[in-house]
Amino acid sequence: MKDAVRLPHVVIIGGGFGGLQAAKALAHAPVQVTLLDRRNHHVFTPLLYQVATAGLSPGDIASPIRWILRKQANVAVQLAEVQGIDAGRRVVRLTSGPGDAEVPYDHLIVATGATHAYFGHDEWEHVAPGLKTLEDALRIRRRVLLAFERAERETDPAAQRRLLTFVVVGAGPTGVELAGALAEISRHALQSDFRAIAPETARIILIEAGSSVLSAYPDDLRAFARRALEQLGVSVWTGSPVTSIGPGRLQVGAETIDAGTILWAAGIAASPLGASLGAPIDRAGRVIVNPDLSVPGAPNVYVVGDLATVTGPNGRPLPGVIQVALQQAECAAKNILHVLKNETTATFVYDDLGNMATIGRNSAVCDLGRIRLKGFVAWLAWVFLHVYKLIGFRNRLSVMTQWAFSYVSYQRSVRLITNDSAIDSE
Amino acid sequence: MKDAVRLPHVVIIGGGFGGLQAAKALAHAPVQVTLLDRRNHHVFTPLLYQVATAGLSPGDIASPIRWILRKQANVAVQLAEVQGIDAGRRVVRLTSGPGDAEVPYDHLIVATGATHAYFGHDEWEHVAPGLKTLEDALRIRRRVLLAFERAERETDPAAQRRLLTFVVVGAGPTGVELAGALAEISRHALQSDFRAIAPETARIILIEAGSSVLSAYPDDLRAFARRALEQLGVSVWTGSPVTSIGPGRLQVGAETIDAGTILWAAGIAASPLGASLGAPIDRAGRVIVNPDLSVPGAPNVYVVGDLATVTGPNGRPLPGVIQVALQQAECAAKNILHVLKNETTATFVYDDLGNMATIGRNSAVCDLGRIRLKGFVAWLAWVFLHVYKLIGFRNRLSVMTQWAFSYVSYQRSVRLITNDSAIDSE
């Protein structure tokens, strides 16, 4: 190939919302795009909790990245794990695999996101898994279902009680959704399946160090969410920092809870790739980017989504939500095109479209700025928006079918414990 | 509980077709039933190959056993792995777990089935996995999808060719279905997804030691199936015993095939539980049962399904198909009731309803005794019967939706590589 016709090579790391949006934004641009991800699929993360609580199948909320981008001729997708970025030589280093172990770039967009933080207690992760990937969701589903199975076989009342106690740490949107869904499983879906235990007596405790659930929402929606959770049978403990976690037990201040299942939905730890750029990072490991999302000291590199930290109009960092990632991806893609045309890059400005969180069947809260919805109307808005946004026609159809079925029957249909050793404790 | 009101305790081991049918047959009988299975779900095995080839989700073809039996008040379901049977003391020994490690029985039905046999080469299993469980199906799906991903990154043409070569060993119904589905994936579903490789150039080879595919079927249907496979692009090698298998390579007589993916669909190895009964077993480990399906020398124990061997009217053992398991389960359940009433037990008589196997999209063969169908009509009959028989309304609906979508779009929608380390070689 002659040098004269060689198009600028844009590499995107990450096939989440930010990475995909960046690729799409470059669809008609005179660039060649390579998107790298260590998984072959994009996950619609707002519905991960539905997979974790046996309401949906993994296939319903995920699509292969190369399938999503199949019609975009200027994109090549590679299943590859990135080890580091050499901003000086302008190459991305892959961990292994056949062919090139390095991918050179002219422009780079890093969109590898963040995971949960255990506040210096990484040993808690094994006991209290977080919910960021499909594998996490399947692991949580297995643990929750196995807890009921073990309780059914258990003859010691104290051990049975422990098995039927579920704790969710962190009352942000994910924690609230998980706790609500756990309450529903135990109150409705499993009702007639067991002989020795009454699943509806399961304790579900939502624990939050801060002073309220859904702290990013306005007061009235927070109060509503708390009441709705309590009506579902969830005990909500706010102002309760967890001080220690061990197998089957956690400590909240002076109080010890015997809980067979502990799930983690707190904290933010950015992908370690950010640190490898050599740019300033914040306490959570997020890259402190320039106003145009480029990285100080790393030419032609942009960071978008949960891995970046940008100060919002209220002086606080923008939240790690999908809307921010999507808008930043658009901005970074445009800025690459500006650079190619020798134009000035644009400053990123966040257009806040609002937030929504669901609290079990029939109830949700939506904060759309001036408009606030709660209860059933909010839940309908949530269902509509999430199904509408699901990538791929089939997924939409499948999810609608499953939800319609769950709604009518109160059932959760994907209650499978799949693992090479289904009974072994983990 | 007083001894006077204690009902006879029937224990069923296995929640496959045989075990479930036995439990259902005892629904209105004056007995207490305990069904033991090491998995929490029943799998509709005729569609496992669809999960392995990314056409359906695990949740579409499986349902929790306790959910299937939730309305049957005299059944308790336990998630438990059975270690052995002590027919002298009339107890089933469990491997571990809380509570009782032994389950006493008055009557026992063993329905633990069979798996594939590697003809004394158990070391082949790691390289060439079989397809009996959901975990197997997910493992195969991962391998197949990863082969295409690796080929896309590979620069050495020979290595790329090897990655794009898929071998299925054994041309019974499972082997034929797998080979047909692999041909479809590569010819249609992946067509526009890759940039460096042309998935439709993948080689799919179906290898059979015997003289024809689908040896249990009449001549004309066998010939039809072979032609249909070849039209899909499958190379069919009959009379070709595999002599050795290693990573990325297998030996068929003098010929060596470099194949990145080798799948196994041959042989029968009965569950090891049969041998623990102390009764005579055949070469495959199947229990040679009495004509009433009871076990010689093990009072009140019955074996049904793939774990039993019964001679059919033609002097050959009955095949390991679902119909045999279902009818044997009915017979064993009835014989238990006969024994309870001090009546003579009945001899098992198999009512052969016929066989069907699919060969990719739009084509199948059905041998219904006097009526034989092939091609599209047979495929419609196959679709109708399989969806109709799928346990659970939701599954039926979901499978129909997915199939309708796949049919119209040629897509396979569940192309997810899920694993804790998606890229690592296994």
Write out pLDDT tens, residues B107-134.
999 999 998 899 889 999 999 999 999 9
CB B17 within 8 A of CB B23: no
Domain membership of residue A345 (yes or no) is no
Q: Confirm or reject contact between A159 and chain B (CB < 8 A).
A: yes
Q: Confirm or reject contact between B47 and chain A (CB < 8 A).
A: no
pLDDT tops 80 at residue A403? no
pLDDT tops 50 at residue B383? yes
- How do strand B107-110 and strand B298-303 relate by DSSP bridges? parallel
Q: Could you tell me if B240 and B135 lie in one domain?
A: yes
- State the best of A416, A421, A425, A426 to mutate against chain B, taking most chain B CBs within 10 Å: A416
pLDDT score, position B97 = 59
Q: How far is CA A205 from CA A166, A208, A260, B253, in A?
A: 6, 10, 12, 63
pLDDT tops 80 at residue B424? no
Two tokens, residue A200: 């509806």
DSSP-derived letter for residue B247 is T
Rounded CA gap, B387 and B397, in Å? Answer: 9
pLDDT tops 60 at residue A109? yes
Q: Could you tell me if B310 and B405 lie in one domain?
A: no
Q: Could you tell me if A262 and A332 lie in one domain?
A: no
Sign of CA dihedral B16, B21, B22, B26: positive
Q: Confirm or reject contact between A134 and chain B (CB < 8 A).
A: yes
Domain membership of residue B398 (yes or no) is yes
Per-residue pLDDT tens over the stretch B40-95: 999 999 889 999 998 888 888 888 899 889 889 999 999 999 999 999 999 999 98
The number of angstroms, rounded, from the C-alpha of B150 to the middle of its chain's C-alpha atoms is 29
Mean pLDDT of A257-266: 96
- Under an 8 A CB cutoff, do B155 and A418 touch? no
Per-residue pLDDT tens over the stretch B27-42: 999 999 999 999 999 9
- Under an 8 A CB cutoff, do B422 and A79 touch? yes
Q: Which of A266, A265, A322, A308 is nearest to A45 (CA)?
A: A322
Rounded CA gap, A123 and A206, in Å? Answer: 21
pLDDT tops 50 at residue A245? yes
Q: Which of A81, A123, A177, A184 is catalytic?
A: A177
pLDDT tops 70 at residue B277? yes
pLDDT score, position A422 = 39
Q: Could you tell me if B251 and B382 lie in one domain?
A: yes
User: Hunting for tokens 């020798």 — which residue is that?
Assistant: A342
User: Hunting for tokens 């959770």 — which residue is that?
Assistant: A229
User: Hunting for tokens 């469980």 — which residue is that?
Assistant: B133
- Under an 8 A CB cutoff, do B153 and A98 touch? yes
Per-residue pLDDT tens over the stretch B363-381: 899 998 888 999 988 988 8
Two tokens, residue A407: 């709604």
pLDDT score, position A312 = 86
Residue of B389 and B175 predicted with greater confidence: B175
pLDDT score, position A425 = 35
CB A77 within 8 A of CB A65: yes
Residue A287 CB neighbours (<10 A): 28
pLDDT score, position A394 = 63
CB A69 within 8 A of CB A200: no
pLDDT tops 90 at residue A98? no
Residue of B405 and A295 predicted with greater confidence: A295
Longest distance between any two alpha carbons in chain B, whole Å: 77
- Under an 8 A CB cutoff, do B59 and A416 touch? yes
Indicate which CATH number applies to the domain containing A171: 3.50.50.100
CB B352 within 8 A of CB B316: no
Rounded CA gap, B165 and B254, in Å? Answer: 18
Rounded CA gap, B203 and B17, in Å? Answer: 35
In the structure, what pLDDT confidence band is assigned to residue A393 with cuts at 50, 70 and 90?
A: low
Q: Could you tell me if B160 and B232 lie in one domain?
A: yes
Secondary structure element (H or E) that encloses residue A102, with its range: strand A102-104
- Any idea which of A95-104, B156-165, B208-217, B333-342 has the lowest mean pLDDT? A95-104
Q: Could you tell me if B362 and B391 lie in one domain?
A: yes
Domain count, chain A: 2
Two tokens, residue A276: 């490898």
The number of angstroms, rounded, from the C-alpha of B286 to the middle of its chain's C-alpha atoms is 16
Nearest by CB to residue A194, choosing from B58, B66, B422, is B66
- How do strand B364-368 and strand B355-358 relate by DSSP bridges? antiparallel
Per-residue pLDDT tens over the stretch B224-261: 999 999 999 999 999 999 999 999 999 998 999 999 99
CB B76 within 8 A of CB A195: yes
Residues 306-325 of A with CB under 8 A from B: none
pLDDT tops 90 at residue B353? no
- State the best of B51, B148, B185, B418 to mutate against chain A, taking most chain A CBs within 10 Å: B418
Indicate which CATH number applies to the domain containing A19: 3.50.50.60
In the structure, what pLDDT confidence band is assigned to residue A4 with cuts at 50, 70 and 90?
A: low
Rounded CA gap, B219 and A118, in Å? Answer: 65
Note down the domain range covering A132.
124-267+355-409
pLDDT tops 50 at residue B421? no
- Under an 8 A CB cutoff, do A71 and B40 touch? no
pLDDT score, position A424 = 38
Instruction: Show which of A309, A340, A371 is a domain's final residue.
Output: A340
Rounded CA gap, A393 and A391, in Å? Answer: 7
CB A21 within 8 A of CB A28: no
Which chain B residue lies closest to A76 (C-alpha atoms)? B195
pLDDT tops 50 at residue A426? no
Distance from the B413 Cα atom to the nearest Cα atom in chain A, whole angstroms: 7
Identify all chain A residues contacting B66, using CB atoms and an 8 Å cutoff: 193-194
pLDDT tops 50 at residue A2? no
pLDDT score, position B315 = 86
Q: Which of B177, B184, B230, B343 is catalytic?
A: B177
- Under an 8 A CB cutoff, do B59 and A414 touch? yes
Domain membership of residue B64 (yes or no) is no
Look at residue B378 and give its three-state secondary structure. helix
Q: Could you tell me if A404 and A374 lie in one domain?
A: yes
pLDDT score, position B288 = 96
Which positions ≥6 away from B363 have C-beta within 8 Å? B180, B228, B374, B375, B376, B378, B379
Identify all chain B residues contacting A394, using CB atoms and an 8 Å cutoff: 401-402, 405, 409, 411, 413
Quick check: is B177 catalytic? yes
pLDDT score, position B360 = 80
Per-residue pLDDT tens over the stretch A198-234: 999 999 999 999 999 999 899 999 999 999 999 999 9
Give the up-direction half-sphere exposure of residue B26: CA atoms within 13 A in the CB hemisphere: 35
Bridge partners (DSSP) listed for residue B287: B281, B308
pLDDT score, position B369 = 81
pLDDT tops 90 at residue A143? yes
Q: Confirm or reject contact between B280 and chain A (CB < 8 A).
A: no
CB B364 within 8 A of CB B382: yes
Residue A193 CB neighbours (<10 A): 19
Residues 354-383 of B with CB under 8 A from A: none
Rounded CA gap, A140 and A54, in Å? Answer: 10
Mean pLDDT of the residues in chain B: 89
pLDDT tops 90 at residue A404? no
Mean pLDDT of A7-31: 96
Nearest by CB to residue A66, choosing from B39, B134, B193, is B193
Nearest 5°: the CA angle B352, B356, B358 is 170
Identify all chain B residues contacting A195, using CB atoms and an 8 Å cutoff: 76
Q: Could you tell me if B327 and B363 lie in one domain?
A: no
Per-residue pLDDT tens over the stretch A313-366: 888 889 889 999 999 999 999 999 999 999 999 999 999 888 889 898 788 999
Rounded CA gap, B43 and A189, in Å? Answer: 20
Look at residue A316 and give its three-state secondary structure. coil
Q: Which backbone phi and psi does B372 adopt, to 5 degrees?
A: -125, 130
Rounded CA gap, B347 and B344, in Å? Answer: 10
- Any idea which of A285-294, B155-164, B310-319 has the lowest mean pLDDT? B310-319
pLDDT score, position A400 = 72
Q: Confirm or reject contact between B415 and chain A (CB < 8 A).
A: yes
User: Hunting for tokens 């526009």 — which residue is that?
Assistant: B192
pLDDT tops 60 at residue B426? no
pLDDT score, position B166 = 97
Domain membership of residue B420 (yes or no) is no
Domain membership of residue A350 (yes or no) is no
- State the best of B44, B126, B153, B400 to mutate against chain A, taking most chain A CBs within 10 Å: B153
Per-residue pLDDT tens over the stretch B325-334: 999 999 999 9
Mean pLDDT of B283-304: 95
Distance from the A76 Cα atom to the nearest Cα atom in chain B, whole angstroms: 6
Strands of the sheet containing B255-258, edge to edge, are: B242-246, B249-252, B255-258
Domain membership of residue A334 (yes or no) is yes
Residue of B160 and A55 predicted with greater confidence: B160
Q: Kindly report the pTM of this predicted structure.
A: 0.86
Q: Confirm or reject contact between B94 and chain A (CB < 8 A).
A: no
Q: Could you tell me if B260 and B272 lie in one domain?
A: no
Nearest by CB to residue A418, choosing from B66, B96, B134, is B134
Domain membership of residue B215 (yes or no) is yes
In the structure, what pLDDT confidence band is assigned to residue B209 with cuts at 50, 70 and 90?
A: very high
Residue of B12 and A116 predicted with greater confidence: B12
pLDDT score, position B147 = 95
Q: Confirm or reject contact between B231 and chain A (CB < 8 A).
A: no
pLDDT tops 90 at residue B391? no
- How do strand B298-303 and strand B294-295 relate by DSSP bridges? antiparallel
- Which amino acid appears at position A388 of this protein? Y
The number of angstroms, rounded, from the C-alpha of A252 to the middle of its chain's C-alpha atoms is 25
Look at residue B364 and give its three-state secondary structure. strand
Q: Confirm or reject contact between B246 and chain A (CB < 8 A).
A: no
Q: Could you tell me if B257 and B379 lie in one domain?
A: yes
Identify all chain B residues contacting A145, using CB atoms and an 8 Å cutoff: 40
Rounded CA gap, A45 and A50, in Å? Answer: 10
- Any idea which of A131-135, B253-257, B386-390 has the lowest mean pLDDT? B386-390
Q: Could you tell me if B262 and B273 lie in one domain?
A: no
Two tokens, residue A27: 């669809």
Q: Could you tell me if B334 and B378 lie in one domain?
A: no
Domain membership of residue A272 (yes or no) is yes
